[in-house]
Chain A
Amino acid sequence: GQNIDQPTEMTATEGAIVQINCTYQTSGFNGLFWYQQHAGEAPTFLSYNVLDGLEEKGRFSSFLSRSKGYSYLLLKELQMKDSASYLCAGGLNFNKFYFGSGTKLNVKP
């Protein structure tokens, strides 16, 4: 199947670093995507990994290990505006995505 697991909720402090994990159980995924979704808004694209390793994009980095079915999103220098849900999605056949249920991140002062 395409089970994608993420923690339901996390809390972190402004200025800190937080890592949001995503595990998946499928051999069919050939890409792993991360989206951010603020409450009441549409998801917006953050990053994706096709190959193993770390992809860095400013304060956000994403890591993928295909052999372990594991990815994480790393957020540095947390800001209050980073409070949102973070969705992990596995890509299938270069077009379809399967989304996890999302991790709600609460950033506290």
Chain B
Amino acid sequence: DVKVTQSSRYLVKRTGEKVFLECVQDMDHENMFWYRQDPGLGLRLIYFSYDVKMKEKGDIPEGYSVSREKKERFSLILESASTNQTSMYLCASSQYRDRVYNEQFFGPGTRLTVL
């Protein structure tokens, strides 16, 4: 089974802190994604990566950055956390095959609260 793990299930940080959310997948997937999920807004794509050191902005990249130094690991960074970044953060991964859709596998999520 594909396994996507996230470093924390719950996290509480203060405004202005630098926050790192880590995601690791064990299926050698090329694609990795970071979403945030808010009530009434669904999942919104923050960033995705289709290869090591490659990244592409999603719909809401402002206030976030990412790092992908190894294929299995994709990190989301909040440079200076703000209260409007309180949310559920979900990581996902998928295989890449040219012109073929591949399902995304999700991690359990990190519920981040910024005070």
Contact = CB atoms under 8 A, between A and B. Distances in A.
Interface of A: 4, 8, 31, 33, 41-45, 48, 50, 87, 89, 91, 94-102
Interface residues of B, number: 28
A55 B50 CA distance: 29
Nearest to B48: A96
Interface in B83-97: 90, 94, 96
Nearest to A88: B42
Interface string B39-65: 011111100101000000011000000
B99 A94 contact: yes
Complex A-B, nearest 9 residue pairs according to Cβ-Cβ distance, in ascending order: A101-B42, A42-B106, A99-B43, A45-B103, A31-B101, A99-B42, A43-B106, A42-B108, A91-B101
Contacts of B50: 95
Nearest to B109: A42
A48 B106 contact: no
Contacts of A8: 40
Contact of B103 (A42, A48, A96): A48
Interface of B: 4, 31, 35, 40-45, 48, 50, 58-59, 90, 94, 96, 98-109
A17 B78 CA distance: 44
Contacts of B44: 99
Contact of A41 (B59, B104, B108): B108
B58 A96 contact: yes
24 contacts: A4-B42, A31-B101, A41-B108, A41-B109, A42-B107, A42-B108, A43-B43, A43-B90, A45-B104, A45-B105, A48-B101, A50-B101, A89-B43, A91-B101, A94-B100, A94-B102, A95-B96, A96-B45, A96-B58, A97-B45, A97-B104, A99-B35, A99-B43, A101-B42
